[in-house]
Amino acid sequence: MRARIRQGLRSSTRQQGGRRRRAVSAAAAVAIGVMTLGALAPPAASASASASAAATARPDTVQRSLNALVRDDGMPAALASVQDRNGRTRTYTAGVGDLATGSKVPRDGQVRIGSNTKAFTAVVVLQLVGEGRIGLSATVDTYLPGLVRGEGIDGRRITVRQLLQHTSGLPDYGIHLDDDEIRNRYFEPRELLDIALRYKADAAPGAKWGYSNTNYVLAGLIVQKVTGRPLAEEMDRRIIKRIGLSHTYFPAPGETAVREPHPQGYHRNPANGPLRDFTELDPSAGWAAGQLISTNSDLNSFFTALLAGRLLPAAQLAEMRTTVPAGTSGLRYGLGLTSRPLSCGGVYWGHGGDIAGYETRGGVTDDGRAANVAVTTIPTDEAAAQRVKDAVDRALCG
């Protein structure tokens, strides 16, 4: 899980010295593999596209991007959902849903969305801020007294805002977990925190931006302390049911399968090793940082509702959209929300996530366009990772 738990925002952590290749994520989320498929090469793209309505982006442009991800970058499958300014949606698939059987890719199938979960967690925290139950400037110790202590680490000096914006300086527990170690292991959130606290701080609170899944485990623990309810229940009540995300859920303890039609997810560890089926795994190492399962269309609906002000009061949405630089590619990080420049001008807002078996990238524009792309293995080189982001850019700019 060393490479995938960091999955959280593979899009940004990739830019921090190539950490992508280490093998884990909870952000990033979770991952491990047992069933070796050998050096299976994905078959040529079996592209298909059907529209529920016309989309702004040219269908052939998006479809060609997915076909290339399968054909040239070795993705077993690629899926996309593109929504225009009027809410009309087109879905796409390429590749195969199962390398062993050659089955079709389920249209808008469920995938593990990794660190997109952080955006959901941040929304719950910010809703509680709006209700006056959590303060962004309050320290971690206000809610979890004495819990966060370590070498250079003191919960009396770290604020809730710093957790959500990854400026706390807390070390990332995810880089210390191995994919194969955690596939069938259940982790309590406190265990994940304890792993992080064995290591010294990466920086002083507020000194710099640094992606850490530990931040969101603490955010989730604060939600539970303040509400007296499990994070999964709060997320379901406050977001998923509220805006009707019918294909999104927080897997229950011990739940390793994906509930609805889905493409199989595959993982390479090491990067030049064979593809292994990682579809079934225990995602608890991701928890508040990376445990959710969803679809491309549901992610588009979530980020659209968020940016439209349907989930947060204006003041808290403005806080969420207040960003700091994250890496060198123009990516900026707010409170569980990122902005990324578009080739056609402006930016799109989203998050992104990796977990062994799946990568998702996408977001929405301020004028209502939305696109999300999922692939069924995490790219093993920077060029392929960039081409997944490029597919999102083409869908939004086409």
How far is 20 from 354, CA to CA, in rounded Å? 10
Active site residue 115: yes
Task: Please pick, among 12, 65, 115, 294, the residue that the annotation labels catalytic.
Answer: 115
How far is 248 from 144, CA to CA, in rounded Å? 29
Closest CA to 357 of 101, 104, 99: 99
Closest CA to 396 of 345, 353, 355: 345
CA distances (Å), origin 366, targets 39, 162, 168, 345: 43, 25, 29, 12
Closest CA to 265 of 33, 91, 83: 33
How far is 30 from 217, CA to CA, in rounded Å? 14
How far is 53 from 87, CA to CA, in rounded Å? 9
How far is 375 from 291, CA to CA, in rounded Å? 17
The answer for residues whose C-beta is within 8 angstroms of residue 266's C-beta and 6 or more apart is: 37, 76, 99, 275, 276, 277, 278, 357, 376, 377
What pairs with residue 353 in β-bridges? Answer: 360
For residue 334 the two structure tokens come to 């707010």
CA-angle at 224, arms to 352 and 121, nearest 5°: 15
Closest CA to 218 of 241, 189, 240: 189
Helix (H, G, I), strand (E, B) or coil at 104: coil
How far is 347 from 129, CA to CA, in rounded Å? 26
Q: At what angle do helices 213-227 and 116-130 cross, to 10 degrees?
A: 40
Query: Amino acid identity of 174?
Result: G
CA terminus-to-terminus distance, the chain: 36
Residue bearing tokens 């979530």: 302
Residue bearing tokens 């366009």: 369
**Catalytic residue IDs:** 115
